[in-house]
Chain A
Amino acid sequence: MSEALTAAVEMLVRLDPKLVEIVLLSLRVSLSAVAISALLGLPVGAAIAVGRFPGRQTVIVLLNALMGLPPVVVGLLVYLLLSRAGPLGALGILFTPLAMVVAQSILILPIIAALSRQAIDDAWREYEEQLRSLGARRMNAALTLLWDTRFSLLTTILAGFGRAAAEVGAVMIVGGNIDGVTRVMTTAIALETSKGDLPLALGLGMILIAIVIAVNAAAYLTKELAQRRYG
């Protein structure tokens, strides 16, 4: 055990190329997924928060429920879509990083949409009378609220990133954990542990935990600073 730990630290210190490659791919996949989900999820969250339409409450309940989507189920659905016989099989992207980005985007889109809906809804309650008094239309109000809740939304996006970086089920199924192509931190840890190669698994585990802690610290500090600066 302590031997494995020493080996892991040693790998980290000399920036083992294999380890670095896996970490970089993980970041590339999860950051792409977060960017896509934020681009889609924030406007959706704002629209649901400010909009009044039939079935709004049902949509909110569903969106909140989808936050708990099991990654393996998302992986399975995307697999079925992208497999050779599936409706999007012709794209030929199964077992590529792109497929992993698609799966993670689907996984965290509800998280970003639901959490941003909540933050914007709260702000809308506070601002509604004032904005309507000024003559702002709903579209305008939605944009104003997106900007005014920007620090809460940043936390939301980071929560999405944390979820994406730490999940294993979806990327395992649609990526296939192919060495040098689709192997990311979580799938590598799963594999190396079962193979008994503990140093690599531990090293990656430490990096993953460090990333999650750093992301949370960044989220916390941003909110704190913003609170102090902008009230």
Chain B
Amino acid sequence: MNQGSILPLRLAEVSFTVGGPAIIDRVSLEIDAGPSTIILGANGAGKSVLMRLMHGLLAPSSGRIEWSSPERPGAPRKQAMVFQRPVMLRRSAYANVAYALKIAGILEPRRGALVREALDSVGLSHLARRPARVLSGGEQQRLALARAWALHPEVLFLDEPTASLDPSATREIESVIKAFDAAGTKVVMATHNLGQARRLGDEILFLDQGRLVERAPVVEFFARPKSEQAAAFIKGELPWT
């Protein structure tokens, strides 16, 4: 591992409960640099919550979540997250990306260069001056990716980034994610779309009712799922992929 890397990320017996049954139930795992990880599972399996726990947006009810080098509060983050529905500030596309860099403490002129590079990498340079919130859903999601990309995070979490997009916008997003993966960013993505998992993933973490049921390389997972739940999920979802 290169020095100062935040990976691997270790979860030990992590649970998350808000009254009622556990949403995440005693999950232990380690996430290392390299292959992209897909968190797969049905709606309500706990994919989003697990990512929010990893990313630090939620605190576990019990168990431990440890990055190899812990984040100092207030220091620039080495991880970023793209949500299902992008949240854009009421300013231009350019300013939205610049905002993230400003919070990370990156000063001009480097900031401007990074913004332009990031917008370019998602093909939005021509819309830089447009107010972000009037862009289409697909464009906003690409902008969200640019905003994350500009920070050059070590780990990029993606929470069903294409769930509310049409097929052509989905293809564009997927190609951007592939480019990030190829550039060495560790991609951790939640999805319930099997086709997408196959296209973008190297390994699968399969969640069912808050429990980590299975972890396997993509090819193996789809060819020979070890658990009953995974087999049923693959069978049930196939017609729609």
Which positions in A face B, CB cutoff 8 Å?
Answer: 126-127, 129-130, 132-137, 140, 144, 147-148, 150, 226, 229-231
CB within 8 Å for A133 and B81 given contacts A140-B103, A229-B131, A231-B134: yes
Report whether A134 and B103 are in contact in the complex, using a CB–CB cutoff of 8 Å.
yes
- Report if B80 contacts A (CB, 8 A): yes
Report whether A230 and B133 are in contact in the complex, using a CB–CB cutoff of 8 Å.
yes
- Report if B236 contacts A (CB, 8 A): no
Report B85-113 residues with CB < 8 Å from chain A CB. Answer: 87-91, 99-100, 103-104
Report B118-171 residues with CB < 8 Å from chain A CB. Answer: 131-134, 151
* Least distance between B140 CB and chain A CB atoms (Å): 10
Report whether A231 and B57 are in contact in the complex, using a CB–CB cutoff of 8 Å.
no
- Report if B233 contacts A (CB, 8 A): no
- With a cutoff of 8 Å between Cβ atoms, the chain A residues found around residue B131 in the complex are 229-231
Summarize B's interface: helix, strand, loop or mixed: loop
The 6 closest A-B pairs by CB, nearest first: A231-B133, A130-B87, A231-B134, A135-B77, A230-B90, A230-B131
- With a cutoff of 8 Å between Cβ atoms, the chain B residues found around residue A126 in the complex are 87
- Report if B180 contacts A (CB, 8 A): no
Measured in the bound complex, the distance between the Cα atoms of B89 and A150 in whole Å is 12
Measured in the bound complex, the distance between the Cα atoms of B96 and A148 in whole Å is 11
Count class of interface residues, chain B: 20 to 34
Report whether A129 and B76 are in contact in the complex, using a CB–CB cutoff of 8 Å.
no
Of the listed residues B52, B56, B87, B91, the one surrounded by the most CB atoms of chain A closer than 10 A to its CB is B87
Measured in the bound complex, the distance between the Cα atoms of B103 and A134 in whole Å is 7
- With a cutoff of 8 Å between Cβ atoms, the chain A residues found around residue B80 in the complex are 133-134
Report whether A133 and B55 are in contact in the complex, using a CB–CB cutoff of 8 Å.
yes
* Least distance between A56 CB and chain B CB atoms (Å): 19
CB within 8 Å for A230 and B87 given contacts A129-B57, A135-B103: no
CB within 8 Å for A127 and B87 given contacts A135-B76, A135-B104: yes
- Report if B67 contacts A (CB, 8 A): no
CB within 8 Å for A137 and B87 given contacts A129-B57, A230-B134, A231-B131: no
B52, B77, B83, B91: the one within 8 Å of A130 (CB): B83
CB within 8 Å for A144 and B89 given contacts A137-B74, A230-B134: yes
- With a cutoff of 8 Å between Cβ atoms, the chain A residues found around residue B100 in the complex are 134
- With a cutoff of 8 Å between Cβ atoms, the chain A residues found around residue B75 in the complex are 135
Closest residue of A by beta carbon distance from B140: A231
